[in-house]
């Protein structure tokens, strides 16, 4: 399984890592960004890595130097993790790694049949299938609309509701086949992507978590410390953009008037990067 970190050169450009600096990788994943930072900061520097997915932590520990500080923790708790130390830079690379996307047992991908789980933190008690089978038709339609911007939300929610009254929906494959029944073939991929995205955001409360995480990050940055966020869909990017704008000239100085995007070359090498947008800011 290949996992290539996204926009590494641009992350380094924004964070401008210093020898001996202290950095937080808020979304460790396969550790690609951490490794790039470690190379720059020398032996006296430190990268503190966080990921809330236990399986990912196990992979990261194998790939990263044994002395690195690695925590299974949600990035909303980063202030506690760094024990009130101030840091020189923080990277958020949101969403999922290829390890998670390509593991059919996690239920994140509409191209792989498996349990409809979608929990990033497997200690959570509620899986996507639990919510889907428990919530009302209206609540489900709202999730599809709000977190997937899906225009066919009502129609899909209605069919799901009819179907789950006969038998609970437990697998990604079942969900995919129901969505396909009410979606024109030319829109299959986009609709599936939107519905899967919306459920994932709901299950992991991703938008609230992002806002809280960004607030924490600003609190632990040193003056002139740098913050760098890579997002993968417009709802996330909007939160980052608005957060930066609100604090611009107060606690932050925006370094990227427009988000930075991967080159065509990078997208060819790594399809996961195609929707990536990077925004950076400096702590005032
Ligand atoms: C795109 S991947 C990161 C890839 C990483 N930058 C690399 O180079 O390999 C995103 C990671 O963030 C983790 N994650 C998502 N939300 C999180 C949160 N709220 N707290 C901690 N980790 C989170 C996921 O488990 C996933 O491993």
Whether 195 maps to a domain, the answer reads: yes
Do 165 and 229 sit in the same domain of this protein?
A: no
Q: Which atom of ligand 1 is closest in space to residue 97's alpha carbon?
A: 2
Instruction: Verify that 91 and 211 share a domain, yes or no.
Output: yes
Please give the DSSP secondary-structure letter assigned to residue 30: T
Q: What gap in Å lies between CA 79 and CA 101, rounded to an integer? A: 28
Mutate to test the pocket of ligand 1, among 7, 12, 15, 27 (most ligand atoms within 8 A of CB): 27
pLDDT digits (tens, 9 = 90+) for 84-94: 799 999 999 99
**Cβ–ligand 1 contact at 17 (below 6 Å):** no
Over residues 119-128, mean pLDDT: 97
Structure pTM? 0.97
Q: Report yes or no on 2 lying in a domain.
A: no
Percent of the chain with pLDDT over 70: 99
Give 191 Cα–ligand 1 centroid separation in angstroms: 24
Q: Is 120 in the pocket of ligand 1 (CB under 6 A)?
A: yes
Q: Show the domain range for 173.
A: 104-204
Kindly give the distance from the C-alpha atom of residue 28 to the centroid of ligand 1, in angstroms, as a whole number: 5
- pLDDT at residue 2 tops 70: no
Residue 192 lies in a domain: yes
Q: Examine the pLDDT at 1 and tell me if it is beyond 60.
A: no
Are 186 and 267 in a shared domain? no
279: part of which helix (H) or strand (E)? strand 277-283
1 domain residue, yes or no: no
Look at residue 271 in the predicted model and tell me its pLDDT: 86
96 ligand 1 Cβ < 6 A: yes
Quote the mean pLDDT of the chain. Answer: 96
Q: Distance between CA 227 and CA 218 in Å, rounded?
A: 8
Number of domains in the chain: 2
Report whether 142 contacts 132 (CB < 8 A).
no
Average pLDDT over residues 42-55: 97
pLDDT value for 119: 98
Residue 111 lies in a domain: yes
Asked whether residue 90 falls in the same domain as residue 214, the answer is yes
Residue 144 near residue 198, CB atoms below 8 Å: yes
Q: Is the CB of 119 under 6 A from ligand 1?
A: no
Angle subtended at Cα 62 by Cα 58 and Cα 67, rounded to the nearest 5 degrees: 105
167 and 244 share a domain?
Answer: no
| CATH for 50 | 3.40.50.150
Which of 204, 233, 263 is a domain's end point? 204
- Whether 256 is in a domain gets the answer yes
Distance in Å, CA 52 to ligand 1 centroid: 8
Domain match, 240 and 189 both: no
Measuring CA to CA, which residue among 271, 237, 275, 270 is closest to residue 256?
237
Q: Over 80: is that where the pLDDT of 107 sits? A: yes
**What pairs with residue 260 in β-bridges?**
278
Compute the average pLDDT of residues 239-257: 98
Please return the burial class of 93, using the count of CB atoms within 10 Å of its CB with bins 0-12, 13-18 and 19+: buried
Closest CA to 63 of 12, 20, 25, 9: 25
Residues 109 and 195 in one domain: yes
Nearest to 27 by CA among 61, 51, 55: 51
Burial class (CB in 10 A: 0-12, 13-18, 19+), 254: middle
d(CA 204, CA 124): 9
Are 245 and 166 in the same domain? no
Q: Does residue 126 lie within any of the structural domains?
A: yes
3-class DSSP assignment, residue 171: strand
Among 180, 204, 228, the domain boundary falls at 204
Looking at the structure, tell me whether residues 67 and 126 fall in a common domain.
no
Kindly state whether residues 12 and 137 are assigned to the same domain. Answer: no
Tell me the percentage of the chain whose pLDDT exceeds 90.
96
Residue 268 pLDDT: 93
The domain boundary, picked from 189, 204, 219, lies at: 204
182 and 141 share one domain? yes
**Which of 28, 68, 81 best tests ligand 1's pocket when mutated (most atoms within 8 Å of CB)?**
28
Mean per-residue pLDDT, 217-233: 98
End-to-end CA distance of the chain, in Å? 41
Indicate which CATH number applies to the domain containing 184.
1.10.150.170
Q: Whose CA is nearest to atom 24 of ligand 1?
A: 96
- 225's enclosing H/E stretch is strand 221-231
Q: Do 213 and 258 lie in a common domain?
A: yes
Is residue 3, in this structure, part of any structural domain at all? no
- Whether the Cβ atoms of residue 194 and residue 202 lie closer than 8 Å to each other: no
């Amino acid at each position: 399984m290949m996992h290539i970190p996204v926009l590494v050169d641009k992350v380094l450009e924004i964070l401008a890592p210093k020898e001996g600096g202290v950095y937080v990788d808020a979304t460790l994943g396969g550790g690609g960004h951490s490794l790039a930072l470690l190379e720059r900061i020398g032996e006296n520097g430190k990268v503190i890595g966080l990921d809330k997915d236990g399986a990912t932590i196990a992979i990261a520990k194998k790939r990263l130097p044994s002395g690195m500080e690695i925590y299974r923790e949600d990035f909303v708790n980063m202030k506690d993790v760094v024990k009130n130390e101030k840091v020189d830079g923080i990277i958020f690379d949101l969403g999922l790694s290829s390890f998670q996307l390509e593991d059919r047992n996690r239920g994140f991908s509409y191209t792989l049949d498996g349990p409809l789980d979608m929990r990033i933190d497997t200690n959570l008690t509620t899986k996507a299938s639990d919510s889907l089978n428990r919530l009302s038709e209206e609540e489900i339609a709202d999730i599809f609309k709000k977190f997937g911007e899906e225009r066919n939300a009502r129609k899909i929610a209605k069919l799901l509701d009819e179907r789950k009254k006969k038998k609970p929906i437990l697998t990604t494959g079942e969900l995919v086949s129901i969505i396909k029944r009410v979606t024109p073939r030319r829109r299959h991929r986009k609709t599936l992507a939107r519905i899967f995205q919306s459920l994932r955001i709901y299950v992991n409360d991703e938008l609230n978590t992002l806002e809280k995480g960004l607030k924490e990050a600003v609190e632990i940055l040193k003056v002139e410390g740098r913050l760098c966020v890579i997002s993968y869909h417009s709802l996330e990017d909007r939160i980052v953009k608005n957060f930066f704008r609100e604090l611009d000239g107060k606690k932050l100085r925006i370094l990227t008037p427009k988000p930075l995007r991967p080159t065509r070359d990078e997208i060819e090498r790594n399809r996961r990067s195609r929707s990536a947008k990077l925004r950076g800011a400096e702590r005032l």
